[in-house]
Amino acid sequence: MNKPSSQFINSAVIIIGGMLLIFEISGEERNVYVMIVGLVMLMFGLYRATNFWIETKDDHKKDEDTENQN
């Protein structure tokens, strides 16, 4: 999977998970299972996003090195 679409998926999972949590916490009746699903989605999205950021943290240095070599 290429990088921009992976980052979009990570962001979407984080936002959907957060929305589920906020929606369930703010309501009168709380469905525990929906809250768990929202929390799992939020944590999964954060995990994937963090791994993506670690993989690409030095990309700007690689680009500078190739420019300096030319």
Q: What is the pLDDT of residue 54?
A: 81
Q: What is the pLDDT of residue 60?
A: 62
Q: What is the pLDDT of residue 35?
A: 93
CA-nearest of 3, 35, 33 to 19 is 35
Output the DSSP codes for the chain. Answer: --HHHHHHHHHHHHHHHHHHHHHHHHSSS--HHHHHHHHHHHHHHHHHHHHHHHHTTTHHHHHHHHHHH-
Tens of pLDDT, residue by residue, the chain (70 residues): 556 688 899 999 999 999 999 999 998 888 999 999 999 999 999 999 898 888 777 766 666 666 666 6
